[in-house]
Structures are given as C-alpha cells and as structure tokens.
Amino acid sequence: MSNDDQLEIEVNGVTLPARKGQMLIEATDAAGIYIPRFCYHEKLSIAANCRMCLVEVEKAPKPLPACATPVMDGMKVFTASARAISAQKATMEFLLINHPLDCPICDQGGECELQDLAMGYGRGVSRYSERKRVVRDKNLGPLISTDMTRCIHCTRCVRFGQEIAGIQELGTTGRGEHTQIGTYVEKSVDHEMSGNIIDLCPVGALNNKPYRFSARAWEMTQHASVAAHDCVGSNMFAHVYNGIAKRIVPQPNEAINETWLSDRDRFSFEGIYAADRLQSPRIRIDGEWRDCGWDEALSAVAEGLKGIAADHGPEQISGLISPSATSEEHFLFARLLRGLGSVNIDHRIRRVDFHGQEADPVAPGLGMTLADLEAQQALLVVGSDLRQEVPIAAHRVRKAAVAGADVFFVNPGNYEYLFPVAGYLDTTSSSIIDELAGLVRAAFARTETRPDANLAEVLAAAEVRPEHEAAVAKLIAAERATVLLGLIAGRHPGYSRIRMLAAALAAATGAQVGSLTEGANSGGAAMAGTLPHRICGGAAAETTGLNAAEIIAAPTRGMVLMGIEPELDCANAEGLLERLADTLFCVVVTPFATPAMETYASVLLPVGTFAETAGSYLNAAGEQQEFSGFATPVGAARPGWKILRVLGNLCAVDGFDYVSAAEVTQALAAVCEDSEPSIENTGQLAPAVAGFDEGGLRVPIYAVDAVVRRARSLQLTKWGESVPDISKPADAA
C-alpha cells in the first residue's frame, strides 16, 4: 500500500486515518466508532438498502449511508449529530412499523440486532396503527427455520448465496412492501455452508431449526472450541445450557474459517445426544453383556491386554484410533500400546496404500496456510470432492477461482463446483494415475526434464492430451501454483504412485504439493505417534508394526479400538466384523454402543466426544489449536485421555502420571520439539491397479464419523440420504 492511499477524515471532531477506497463505515469500525447497520456486512458486497447507517457529512445536502460513502480526504462526518440521529431514528421507525413487536415469542429475542438497535433508536410506542404485513413462512429444509414476517429485507442472506456460496438459493420476489425473501419454487437450502445465513440474518427471520425455542441466549454459557470433522479445525463457540450443548456458532478467525462455519461443524453436535450413546462401561462375561463400574471395566481391560501379551506375545496386540481423536489421546494411545510392547498402531484407517510411508511428511497437511491457498493463481486438485471433504477449504479455493485463479480437477466424475473451473480431467474411463502421468509427461516435455527410473515406468504408457498441456501451461505460468491432493487420492490403492507423480509434476512446474487429510487431526496423530513406523515426534520406530490395512485384513488376537465404528470408518471393511469377532480380546473405547460392537467386543468403555473432553488438534495448515470440553459428559463417559491414563497405570506402563490434558499437551510438545523427521523418498510404489472404481472412495459429507452419522438434522438434508442409516430416530423418516 503506497502512502498516497492514506488519508485523513474527521469523525465527530476526531481525526481518523483511512485508506482510499474504504467506505466510511470501515474507517469508523476500525476506530471503534459505532454506526448502526443492518445490511452492511464486512464479508458481503454493499447493498446500502437498509438506510440505518445514515450519517451527516459536511456539505452534503442529505444524510449519507456510511456503508456506501467512500472516504475522502478531509471530509467531516457526524455520526451522532441531530441530523444523523433523526435519520437513523426515522429508519428504525420504518423498519418497525411492519415488524411484529413481540420479541418475547421470537427465537432471536435477546440476541437480535433489530431489538438491540430499537432500544437505542426506537420509540417507546408505535405511531403505526394500520394493518401490519404478514408473510408466509418458507420451508427451507431441516436446518433453517423461517419467520418471514420478521424479515427486514436487508438481503444479507441473498448476497451470501450469490457471493459466498456461489449459488443463489434465496432471492427476492415481489416489489415494494410485498417484497419477499424465499426460494421462489419451494425447495430446501442445500449448500454445505447454508447455516451461515442464520448468523447473517440480523433478525429472527432465519433461525436455527434444531435449536428453535429450546433456550434463550442469556441462559446459556458460551465456550470456545474447535470443530472436529475436517482438517481445517474451524473455530466455534458452543452455547451450553445446564451442561447440554444447544447450538454451535462460528468463532471468527480470519486465518481459518473467517466468519463461517460449515453445516457439518454447526449441526454435528446433535450426534452427541444420539439414542445409542454408551451410558456406562459394559463388559461381556461368558457371552453375556452387562453394565459395570469403571474400576471393573478398566481392570478387565488391563488384565485382558496383559494376558494377550503374556500368552501370545505383544505383537498380537493392535490399536486403531480415529484420526479425529485429540493429539493427547493419540499420544497416550501410542504410549500405551508401545508400553505393552505392541508396534501395531495406526490412525490411517481409510488409507490402503502404505508403500513408501517412510516418505510421508511428519505432519501431513497443506504445507501452507489457508490464506496462501486462497492466494494461489493455479491449482490442480487431485482426487477430491472438495466441497464435501473440507467445505472451508473449498470456500478458499472458490475465492481463489473467483479472483481469477485457474482451478483444475482430476476426479472420478465432475463434482459440482460453484465457481469457474478451468478444466476437469475426468478419470471415469481412465484413472487418477493415468491423468497425472499425462500431466507429468506434458510438463516434462515443456521443461525438458528427464524422468528418473521409477517414473519412467509409470510414464511410459501415459497419453498426453491437449487438456493436460493446458493445465500444465497454467501451473508453469502461475507464480503461485499448487497441486492439492484430496481425500480420494489419499484413499487410493495407488496413492504412492499418485504422490510420486504429484511431486514430479510440482517439481517440473514450480508448484507446491499439499494434502487434505482425514478427520480433524491426522497431523496431530502423526506427530503423536499413532503410526506403526514412527514414534512420537516423527522419528522412525525401531520396528515397523502392522499398518491399518494389515490390521483390518487380519486383526491380531488382542485389539484396542478408539473412537471408531470399524465397519464404517475403515477401508476394506468387508468381513471385518466377523474377523473382529474371532479375536480373543477386543476393547472398544467409544461414545456409542452399536449392536455390531456387541458381537465382537469384550469391553466397551464410554468415552467423551470432542464436546466433552479437553485436548488439541493440529490442522492441515499446521496450526495447533487447544480446546476444552464444553458439554457435561453423557452418562458415565470420561475424556479419552483420562481413560488412557488409568489404563497406562493399570498396565504398569511408564509415563502416565498426568493430571490434566494440558500436561499431556506439554509432554507431547516436548517430545516433538527435539525430533528429527525422516522425509526421504523411498521410491517404493504400489503395484499398478486397473479397472478400479475411484468414485467409490468418496465418503459422503455426513458419513465421515460416528458423531456426524448420528446428527439427525444433517441426516435429514439432501446429503444425508446417501448415508448408511444409523439410529435415526423413528420420526426422522
């Protein structure tokens, strides 16, 4: 920014700095001078339709809207002069004449921008004695309730669709006083971030449907937390009433989720209160299941695991843990299993190709911040249903595309993107590997790079098409270009080939490589050492144990499962339940008790979900985020780190004397600090796969983990239909 852009304005007699091109309201907001507003929102375009922000500007014949008046050097502004206040009060009166004056029965009451401002700018008694407008409510689907008579026509919700989501789901119909907000033809609002219009709506017109009429803002306590279903870790606030989470709202964080929250992160918490929550530890004795106390359950687990180690050797114990467990849980899980002598530990439960895992980054992720992602000029997204996998990352990519970046997709099918896509390389009749090989060959041809031996074999059969050349040209031309590997790529049986090709392509075109990762905490899991080939901190393990795919294919005699429903969360899970049933001792640390678990488990330990435990996540942008639990644990559930700590002690494993999650975090950080990552390329490749359905690697947005699968409202959306039906309440059909 050059100095010429700086100017000065005078507001209420005080000189303020401002920048050329800014609107008045931006300068006053920055200085903490409040101007009332309804339609203005910093993330949306300017509509200037509500007229609440009218202020007096010297020499202007009429009051001007602060949100749509550009700053000018030396301009004198009065935000609270008699003229300004009278204009603002006038607007308030107009807004209220057709607005119901019954805040006590409105769900927005107590947290309504209109109600708040009416306290300052409204009259005590209405002068309006004509008939008031009544507007029919709309059915927008299971997430958003409407009370359209309360709408003040600010069009924030409309602009959200047009500008942020990229699909205009809501619009205005009619004119004048009869203007209505709606979908025109009745339909649900389906965008994966649609819940944000609840926050954007300044009044009680668009509200949170599942939360509706269940609590008042002032009765709840607000707790900061981190979302648990994708690798960005959106910041959020939980609103809690009597220990029960009532709703989730975004916590603004420009570096991560800006002011947004995906619907998955907003509504998933419903799953915490699913009917099949495990209320107490349960134990199977002689084939009979019964509830038991924690002491009995934990000693049974310690005895069971020690027994397996003694009778069959510690290599007969394996542990699988959810990639969305906290870093603290991963750290103690790995320590417990290693303490028992087992090396078969993994969190990569949807991955199947582990060739060259030694070359995995110590903490896999984007290798850049989300802001960097948005700043890319060319992006090649490989194997990702981006919007469903990581909605917030998709939003950043959309912003890049809207700003002019060329975004290419290599995908089994053209998943819908609500931005201009530079090119789709559809792999339906080829494969991700074929298309990448074509791209690499095209890049090598342009840059006169010679493939090394490993690559030569893969490239030999590659066919180069004009689409490959076009994409490569953009990657080369762009100053900032990235090859982004998605979750479909990570689950691919030829992942090692994909990764090698992506690296070669990036090297040849000057692009970076980044990865989206499974769950909320794959980075933290890898750092904490729930891997068969690395210990905490990323150093190579002495012995490489069985990886997730090997464990799933052939479970060992003793099994520890944490936070997963293996038949739904693991790759290649056909027949897994039967194989698990054949084990000798299987402990499942789980928030939910499913009929399937009762067929294979020996002990069920109720663990707190992300809502009920303290811990931290390392997101794909490398940001470590700590949080504490916000909801009272359901039933006898306990935080995972506490369960593992007691188990560690009972199994007489060293290093389990922690009294708080924060202590575990510190211990983990200490180990990670002085570790040396090994990231050499091993050149090991998976055998070629042919005729394989890559589209089948896609996991629907609301099927990613056990909590989301139980979030009733999400399952009722358009995207919920495709999800295996688990414990939907009877009335949900």
Partner 1 sequence: MGSEGSGGPVVFSVSGHVNRPGNFEVGLGIPFRDLLELAGGVRDGRKLKAVIPGGSSVRVLPAELILEANMDHKSLQEAGSSLGSAAVIVMDETTDMVRVLERISRFYYSESCGQCTPCREGTGWMNRVIGRILAGRGKPADMDMLVDVANKIEGHTICALGDASAWPVQSFVHHYRHEFEHYIEHGCSIVSQQSAAA
Question: Is residue 209 at the binding interface for ligand SF4, with CB under 6 A as the rule?
Answer: no
Residue 569: CA atoms inside 13 Å, Cβ hemisphere, count? Answer: 26
d(CA 547, CA 529): 13
Looking at the chain, how many residues does it have? 733
Question: Is residue 208 at the binding interface for ligand SF4, with CB under 6 A as the rule?
Answer: no
Residue type, 21: G
Site for ligand SF4 in 455-484 (CB under 6 A): none
Question: Read out DSSP for 465-506?
Answer: -HHHHHHHHHHHH-SSEEEEE-HHHHT-TTHHHHHHHHHHHH
Q: Residue 90 burial (CB < 10 Å; 0-12/13-18/19+)?
A: middle
Pick from ligand FES, partner 1, ligand SF4, none: which does 205 bind, CB < 5 to 8 A by kind? ligand SF4
Of 203-211, 506-514, 605-613, 707-715, the window that binds ligand SF4 (rule: CB under 6 A) is 203-211
Give the nearer residue to ligand SF4 in terms of CB position, either 206 or 568.
206
Residues 637, 606 contacting (CB under 8 angstroms)? yes
Closest CA to 67 of 130, 156, 135: 156
Residue 134 phi/psi, 5° resolution?
Answer: -125, 135
Minimum distance, C-beta of residue 200 to ligand SF4, in the bound complex (Å): 6
Of 201-209, 498-506, 686-694, 708-716, the window that binds ligand SF4 (rule: CB under 6 A) is 201-209
Minimum distance, C-beta of residue 172 to ligand FES, in the bound complex (Å): 15
Pick from partner 1, ligand FES, ligand SF4, none: which does 201 bind, CB < 5 to 8 A by kind? ligand SF4
Say how many residues touch ligand SF4, by CB under 6 A.
14
Give the nearer residue to ligand SF4 in terms of CB position, either 99 or 350.
99
Minimum distance, C-beta of residue 114 to partner 1, in the bound complex (Å): 11
Pairing of strands 558-562, 317-321: parallel
What is the side-by-side strand order in the sheet with 54-57?
Answer: 14-19, 6-11, 76-78, 54-57, 64-65
Of 126-134, 197-205, 370-378, 620-628, the window that binds ligand SF4 (rule: CB under 6 A) is 197-205
Of 94-102, 202-210, 269-277, 306-314, the window that binds ligand SF4 (rule: CB under 6 A) is 202-210
Per residue in 509-533, is it b (16+ CB within 10 Å) or e — as a string?
bebbbbbbbbbbbbbbbbbbbbbbb
Give the nearer residue to ligand SF4 in terms of CB position, either 159 or 638.
159
Residues 67, 53 contacting (CB under 8 angstroms)? yes
Kindly state the tokens that stand for 559. 């099994």
Minimum distance, C-beta of residue 80 to ligand SF4, in the bound complex (Å): 25
Minimum distance, C-beta of residue 206 to ligand SF4, in the bound complex (Å): 5
Minimum distance, C-beta of residue 201 to ligand SF4, in the bound complex (Å): 3
Give the nearer residue to partner 1 in terms of CB position, either 160 or 600.
160
Residue type, 540: A
Minimum distance, C-beta of residue 34 to ligand FES, in the bound complex (Å): 12
What is the side-by-side strand order in the sheet with 481-485?
Answer: 423-426, 406-411, 378-382, 481-485, 512-515
Closest CA to 359 of 675, 677, 680: 680
Strand partners, 78: 56
Give the nearer residue to ligand SF4 in terms of CB position, either 207 or 384.
207
Residue type, 61: P
Kindly state the tokens that stand for 414. 């053209």
CA–CA distances in Å: residue 242 to residues 214, 221, 278, 364: 12, 9, 20, 38
- DSSP category for residue 160: I
Pick from partner 1, ligand FES, ligand SF4, none: which does 560 bind, CB < 5 to 8 A by kind? none
Question: Is residue 53 at the binding interface for ligand FES, with CB under 6 A as the rule?
Answer: yes
Kind plus residue range of the DSSP H or E element containing 618: strand 615-618
Minimum distance, C-beta of residue 391 to partner 1, in the bound complex (Å): 31
Question: Is residue 96 at the binding interface for ligand SF4, with CB under 6 A as the rule?
Answer: no
Give the nearer residue to partner 1 in terms of CB position, either 104 or 176.
176
Residues 606, 612 contacting (CB under 8 angstroms)? no
d(CA 706, CA 568): 8
Pick from partner 1, ligand SF4, ligand FES, none: which does 444 bind, CB < 5 to 8 A by kind? none
Contacting residue, 69, 155, 342, 517, with ligand SF4 by CB under 6 A? 155
Contacting residue, 67, 349, 400, 410, with ligand FES by CB under 6 A? 67
Give the nearer residue to ligand SF4 in terms of CB position, either 153 or 645.
153
Give the nearer residue to ligand FES in terms of CB position, either 68 or 103.
68
N- to C-terminal Cα distance for the chain?
A: 57
Say how many residues touch ligand FES, by CB under 6 A.
12
Residue 320 phi/psi, 5° resolution?
Answer: -120, 135
Minimum distance, C-beta of residue 39 to ligand FES, in the bound complex (Å): 3
Contacting residue, 40, 354, 409, 617, with ligand FES by CB under 6 A? 40
Give the nearer residue to ligand FES in terms of CB position, either 52 or 513.
52
Kindly state the tokens that stand for 147. 């009370």
Closest CA to 193 of 244, 148, 258: 258
Contacting residue, 156, 347, 395, 441, with ligand SF4 by CB under 6 A? 156
Question: Is residue 203 at the binding interface for ligand SF4, with CB under 6 A as the rule?
Answer: yes
Question: Is residue 151 at the binding interface for ligand SF4, with CB under 6 A as the rule?
Answer: yes
Q: Rule CB under 8 A: which residues touch partner 1?
A: 48-52, 54, 61-63, 87, 90-91, 93-95, 97-98, 127-128, 130-131, 152-153, 172, 174-179
Pairing of strands 171-173, 180-182: antiparallel
Contacting residue, 144, 157, 443, 570, with ligand SF4 by CB under 6 A? 157
Pick from ligand FES, ligand SF4, partner 1, none: which does 157 bind, CB < 5 to 8 A by kind? ligand SF4
Give the nearer residue to ligand SF4 in terms of CB position, either 154 or 432.
154
Residues 611, 227 contacting (CB under 8 angstroms)? no
Residues of the shown chain interacting with ligand FES in the complex, contacts defined by CB under 6 A:
37-40, 48-53, 65, 67
Residues that bind ligand SF4 (CB under 6 A): 151-157, 181, 200-203, 205-206
